Amino acid sequence: MITHRLWLVFLATMIMFGLPVAHAAGPVETNVFAVQGVAADVTDKDVASAKNKALFEVQMKAIVMLAQRLGNETFAAEIAKLGPKDVLPLLKSLSIEEEGAGPGHYIGKFTVRFIPEKVQRLFESYGVAVVSEQATPMLVLPIWKSAEGSQLWEENLWRTAWLNLRAEQSLVPLIIPIGDLEDTAALTAEDVLNLDPIKLETLRRRYGTRTILVAIAEPAEGNGVRAMMNGESELGKITFDKIYTADPATLEASAALAASRFHAVMVDKYKSDTSRVRQVASEAMASHSIPVAVPFSSPSEWNAIRSRILSSPGIIGVDVSTLGGDGAVIRLMYVGDLQVVQTSMQGTGLQMSQIGGNWVIQSLL
């Protein structure tokens, strides 16, 4: 039997050795068995007691949130009946996202991670089969259009709606850029609306995703929000253009409703055809390589062409086989379909074609 004291010691250990939440940009943790943003707001006789009480609460809240995500509200209500002795063995780690304290008062947010195999066994005992394999994470760029202009990085209700989804750990993980100086220097709202291929690719590589989706929203009549998204993903073609109006109707609530509905549709699509998604993802991940000649007139031109090749979507590497004063022979490594790669290169000012049975890349600029 786990005593109260031993339980607290165990939780303290989980926090000590839990993985920290990354605040810098880069590949974001995606884990279907992790729950981010689990809030605690507790009062007790002193701060230490309040924090200890919070540690009890967040793991219970997290397992219910996980049951909602992987099951449904009815299932989550059943999981909510479990006690700490049932949930504690499922716990892998806790990480503090943020915290604050006052006299007898503790507030905080946690990331709670569970042991996958144990959660699956528990949920299956209730007849809930867990789809644990996630879709490949996608980077979402939310743009809010209003009378003040188009906003990408500025604080606005549309960006807030996507951030509040906290969908990094869902079955369809969505990554929202943090908007630091490197992000804002990389591209503007106008760059995104113009689908600038080089600047979008720079951001995609920074966050380590395979897909970028642009979500555009603007105010609609009656405090509704018209939300639009159009793009290709590993789930297939994603197309939305609809007005969402919350009840009660406020712009903030309507934006939150639109973002959650967009994501729910993606999750439903993924759940309904996981075998097709796996096949598409596997094909997309398969890499290929071919020899390609690259003529140039100077070292600076070669460096410029090589940079544009590497920034082309679908290109994963360039190995130089031979390098001379007027050209190079490289081994071009790519994923996906070669025709798609040819098209993507045109967007970076390059032309890839066959001449005399050999592949050649030339600058169009």
Residue 349 has pLDDT above 80, yes or no: yes
Q: Find the mean pLDDT for residues 157-183.
A: 90
- The residue range of the domain holding 338 is 286-363
CATH number at residue 259: 3.40.50
pLDDT digits (tens, 9 = 90+) for 4-55: 444 444 444 344 333 333 344 444 556 788 888 899 999 999 988 898 888 8
Exposed e or buried b per residue across 316-330, where buried means at least 16 C-beta atoms within 10 angstroms of its C-beta: eebeeeeeeeeebeb
Q: In this structure, are 220 and 306 located in the same domain?
A: no
pLDDT at 19: 36
Establish if 130 belongs to a structural domain.
no
Question: Do 245 and 335 fall within a single domain?
Answer: no
CB atoms within 10 A of CB 342: 18
User: Does the bond joining 295 to the residue before it have cis omega, within 30 degrees of 0?
Assistant: no
156 & 239 share domain: yes
The count of structural domains within the chain is 3
Among 231-235, 313-317, 360-364, the minimum mean pLDDT is found in: 231-235
What is the average pLDDT across 183-196? 92
In tens, the pLDDT along 273-285 reads 665 545 555 555 5
Residue 186 falls inside a structural domain: yes
Is residue 111 located within the same domain as residue 13? yes
Nearest to 309 by CA among 324, 294, 289, 290: 294
Contacts of 227 (CB under 8 A, 6+ apart): 215, 216, 217, 240, 241, 242, 243, 244, 255, 258, 259, 262
Mean pLDDT, residues 102-128: 89
Q: Choose between 146 and 311: higher pLDDT.
A: 146
pLDDT score of 101: 87
Say whether both 300 and 252 belong to one domain: no
Q: Is 67 left (phi over 0), alpha (psi -120 to 50) or beta?
A: alpha
SS (H, E, C) the chain: CCCHHHHHHHHHHHHHHCCCCCCCCCCCCCCCCEEEEEEEEEECCCHHHHHHHHHHHHHHHHHHHHHHHHCCHHHHHHHCCCCHHHHHHHEEEEEEEEEEEECCEEEEEEEEEECHHHHHHHHHHCCCCCCCCCCCCEEEEEEEEECCEEECCCCCHHHHHHHHHCHHHCCCCEECCCCCHHHHHHCCHHHHHCCCHHHHHHHHHHHCCCEEEEEEEEEEHHHEEEEEEEEEECCEEEEEEEEECCCCCCHHHHHHHHHHHHHHHHHHHHHHCHHHHHHHHHHHHCEEEEEEEEECCCHHHHHHHHHHHHHCCCEEEEEEEEECCCEEEEEEEEECCHHHHHHHHHCCCEEEEEECCEEEEEECC
198 and 319 within one domain: no
| Whether the predicted pLDDT of 361 surpasses 50 | yes
Residue 124's pLDDT band (boundaries 50, 70, 90)?
Answer: confident
* Range with lowest mean pLDDT among 22-36, 56-70, 159-173, 242-256: 22-36
**Same domain assignment for residues 298 and 337:** yes
In this structure, the answer to whether residues 229 and 143 fall within a common structural domain is yes
- Give me the pLDDT at residue 20, please: 36
The predicted structure's pLDDT at residue 130: 75
Mean of the per-residue pLDDT values of the chain: 84
**Using an 8 Å Cβ cutoff, are 245 and 171 in contact?**
no
Tell me whether residue 132 is in a domain.
Answer: no
pLDDT at 183 over 70: yes
Query: Do 213 and 310 have their domain in common?
Result: no
One domain for residues 182 and 69: no
Predicted pLDDT of residue 270 = 83
The pLDDT value recorded for residue 230 is: 79
Q: What is the mean pLDDT of residues 354-365?
A: 89
pLDDT for 156 = 93
Cα 99 to Cα 47, 91, 137, 318, distances in angstroms = 12, 20, 28, 46
Which of 229, 255, 281 is the last residue in one of the domains? Answer: 281
The pLDDT value recorded for residue 134 is: 79
Instruction: Residue 295: give its domain's CATH number.
Output: 3.30.70
Q: Using only the alpha carbons of the chain, give its radius of gyration.
A: 24
Residues 257 and 314 in one domain: no
The answer to the question of residue 265 being in a domain is yes
Q: What is the pLDDT of residue 284?
A: 54
Q: Are residues 77 and 162 in the same domain?
A: no
> For residue 349, is it within any domain?
yes
* Residue 359: predicted pLDDT: 95
Of 184, 185, 162, 182, the closest CA to residue 174 belongs to 162
